[in-house]
Structure 1
Amino acid sequence: MAKTYADLLQEVKAAIRQVSLEDLKERLESGEEVILVDVREKDEWRQGHVPGAIHIPRGFLEMQSGSRLPDKEAKIVTMCAAGIRSAFAAKVLQDLGYRNVESANPGFNQWKDQGFPTTQPFAFTDAQLNRYSRHLLLPEVGEQGQAKLLQGRVLLLGAGGLGSPAALYLAAAGVGTIGLVDGDTVDESNLQRQVLHGLDRVGESKVESGKRTIENLNPDVNVISFNERLTRQNVDRIFDQDWDVIVDGLDNFATRYLVNDASVWKDIPVVHGSIFRFDGQVTTFWPRHGPCYRCLYPEPPPPHLAPSCAEAGVLGVLPGAIGTLQATEAVKIVLERGDPLVGRLLQYDSLQMQFRTFKLRRNKECPVCGDHPTITDY
């Protein structure tokens, strides 16, 4: 005789462990390491969920559990609206080899009715759900990650070769606030590589040109323009605006040292990029996590060994590759995902189409980030 739904549900509940909402609340408040997996649908999740829960809709559980729940020994509690879908979800996880799985009974509706803690997810508009749909499909981003991006703040130093692709991709990704620092104007010679600008912008301020381009690409982005060069006199005013990360697209050593020192003292990660003819490099300097710029370059090289793009030339597409890598690092930092290039220097040879990675180490004698710093002011 074929099983009925009631028979199947009874078998599933007999095969799993269930936890009451009161016990679950007490365990969460005590700080016990429990992964709470909410298996409701997206529209239910958007109406509220338990703080700290991760969202894996029931229909995606088998597909996403391997990447979202890598530790099969971890304590996991599944939750749905009333305790039925979570029971089936717990059984599936058990069948997949997870050894410490429980199902919350009855579920979120009762949790909310009892006045237990809940949180409301970021409220996306229909237009945003459509615009960022490809991000929302990524388990590593999802709605929580996209909300982080929309609430993120990234400062771009330079709206030129490196700043242009970085700005475009950060804006497209939905970084909510982008600061642009550049005191230059658009010149025709810039257009070979500075894709943020166009012929109709020649003679215009680069930050104002960049702001127009970004706002046209994504109206969600608030652009803060600093139509000035970064100096000792304005660095505090510009940096003290709660930036999550700084993207360095500068082209001179003196300002890079200034950026390094200020970012170390203010504890702001800096994604550094530089280009020369056919070569480029990217690394991330994150205070207290790895070396700083002065660890890599204790002193600036002689001018003849580090000519500018105007003196030595540069392949037009090269800034696109390096600036996009910088944008990728910045997005990862805002999302708190992946492994940034801290303590690693990524070098790119476009002629040979080769990437190489070199280890960087913090210099204990560094005058800024070392054990006994000697540089403490600009």
Structure 2
Amino acid sequence: MSTVPEITPAEARQRLTHGALLIDIRDAHERASGMAEGALGIARGDLQAEPAAHLPVLDREVVLICQSGKRSMEAAVVLAGLGYTRVASVHGGTTAWRAADLPLVQPLQSDAERDFNERYSRHLLLPQVGVDGQRTLLASRVLVLGAGGLGAPAGFYLAAAGVGHLRIADDDVVERSNLHRQILHTDASVGTPKVLSARDRLLALNPHLDVEAIQVRVTSDTIDALLDGVDVVLDGSDNFPLRYLLNDACIQHRIPLVYGAVERFTGQVSVFDAGRQRGQAPCYRCLFPEPPPPEFAPNCSEAGVLGVLPGMVGLLQATEVLKMLLGMGEPLVGRLLSFDALGMRFRETRLRPDPACPLCAPGKAFPGYIDYAAFCSGP
């Protein structure tokens, strides 16, 4: 059992007035929401890495405080083991300090620091993200191809998550029939280019991002410029010619492609990363070597779609994009996740790379872009 004493916030404040050193060991982004008045902010990692630099006198009275009391106790035990003889921990931490109505202060921050710490506070608490991960997101560039059913929810969450540069490409305008699923747009946006409507809404949500609105028809002539400099591509297209073009271009440029598709009450999500993992990861052509006949693959305007379904698939795509950018978790590479909304069931299908794939097989030279409309129209 630990011999380090736990004291109440009131006792900590009393000791502070008698010369004790109160140290808030939370990280800087946690302290941004308020610190116990009189506390010195030193992150736990820094304190434990160089205790002598911060506490040169072993018998100085030191009181540690964190958010709830757990980390401060653990740090106090470490200090006691190093020979510090007058160390204590605040029971309940800053939460208890606030509940006791004891004075709090805001640490000095620039406007940019305050916005960063407040806006992304829940990300910063995740060890898998933290400050470094959040700055990685802010430095990332994502192409969202399509500002419709899939691109709308995905774009919202990528912007909210702090993906610093979003390039949105679409040549369509907002129609009233879009509004039941394309939540980026409003009734006032009807008749407006989708990319401009999307940019306005995303910047209203997170004004510090760079949202690049490109009103262009995506073709073999425009795809290379759209992919220039991006880290991940989110496929929000709604037709087979565009999906094949996007697949081939992402292989050529070695960029991961987060695929999504919806029809009526079902959806699919996967990640195709064959450009960087030839022979290890499949591409879209490994899943669909040939497109199905048009009558077996109607789009939403022909077959209809439950309004919430693109939202669910788009959010899954956004999740995969964030995982790819942060290098965490297990992306859906080599796996196809299918969703049936009526049965509320998910099914996972393993995908293997096709060793004879004309695009992603090892050693296969890029054949160039083709007439994708003709390829998808059949003989």
Question: Scaled by the length of structure 2, what TM-score is found?
Answer: 0.70
Q: Render the CA deviation track for 1:141-162: whole Å, top value 9, x for unaligned.
A: 1111111111111110000000
Post-superposition shift, 1:194?
0.4
Matched, 1:80 2:43: no
Q: Is the 8 A contact 1:247 1:271 kept in 2?
A: yes
Post-superposition shift, 1:244?
1.0
Give the distance between the partners of 1:155 and 1:80, measured in 2 at CA. 43
Post-superposition shift, 1:336?
1.1
Match of 2:187 in 1: 199
Give the distance between the partners of 2:282 and 2:164, measured in 1 at CA. 29
Give the distance between the partners of 1:143 and 1:209, measured in 2 at CA. 31
Matched, 1:304 2:292: no
Give the distance between the partners of 2:51 and 2:172, measured in 1 at CA. 56
Task: Give 1:112-261 correspondences, 5 Å limit.
Answer: 125-240=113-228, 242-261=229-248
Post-superposition shift, 1:298?
0.6
Post-superposition shift, 1:320?
0.4
- What's the secondary structure of 1:125's corresponding residue? helix
Match of 1:275 in 2: 262
The one-letter code sitting in structure 2 at the alignment partner of 1:222 is D
Give the distance between the partners of 1:147 and 1:124, measured in 2 at CA. 13
Identity across matched positions, percent: 49
Match of 1:342 in 2: 333
Give the distance between the partners of 2:119 and 2:141, measured in 1 at CA. 19
The one-letter code sitting in structure 2 at the alignment partner of 1:167 is G
Give the distance between the partners of 1:44 and 1:256, measured in 2 at CA. 41
Moved over 4 A (4+): none
Give the distance between the partners of 1:318 and 1:250, measured in 2 at CA. 15
Q: Is the 8 A contact 2:268 2:338 kept in 1?
A: yes
Matched, 1:293 2:279: no
- What's the secondary structure of 1:169's corresponding residue? helix
More moved, 283-292 vs 354-363: 283-292
More moved, 283-292 vs 245-254: 283-292
- What's the secondary structure of 1:301's corresponding residue? coil
Give the distance between the partners of 2:333 and 2:282, measured in 1 at CA. 8
Give the distance between the partners of 2:261 and 2:4, measured in 1 at CA. 66
Give the distance between the partners of 1:129 and 1:57, measured in 2 at CA. 15
Post-superposition shift, 1:82?
3.4
Give the distance between the partners of 1:208 and 1:45, measured in 2 at CA. 36
The one-letter code sitting in structure 2 at the alignment partner of 1:272 is Y
Match of 2:315 in 1: 324
Matched, 1:262 2:253: no
Q: 1:173 to 1:365 in 2, by over 3 A?
A: same
Give the distance between the partners of 1:357 and 1:327, measured in 2 at CA. 18
Post-superposition shift, 1:83?
6.0
Q: Is the 8 A contact 1:40 1:81 kept in 2?
A: no
Q: 1:58 to 1:189 in 2, by over 3 A?
A: same
Give the distance between the partners of 1:188 and 1:176, measured in 2 at CA. 30
- What's the secondary structure of 2:347's corresponding residue? strand
Q: Is the 8 A contact 1:282 1:345 kept in 2?
A: yes
The one-letter code sitting in structure 2 at the alignment partner of 1:266 is H
Q: 1:375 to 1:148 in 2, by over 3 A?
A: closer
More moved, 229-238 vs 210-219: 229-238
Question: Scaled by the length of structure 1, what TM-score is found?
Answer: 0.70
Q: Which has the larger radius of gyration?
A: 2
Match of 2:8 in 1: none
Match of 1:368 in 2: 359
Post-superposition shift, 1:245?
0.4
Q: Tell me how large the CA RMSD over aligned residues is.
A: 3.3
Match of 1:10 in 2: none
The one-letter code sitting in structure 2 at the alignment partner of 1:211 is R
The one-letter code sitting in structure 2 at the alignment partner of 1:352 is G
- What's the secondary structure of 1:127's corresponding residue? helix
Give the distance between the partners of 2:141 and 2:148, measured in 1 at CA. 19
Q: Is the 8 A contact 2:141 2:231 kept in 1?
A: yes
More moved, 366-375 vs 322-331: 366-375
Match of 2:44 in 1: 58
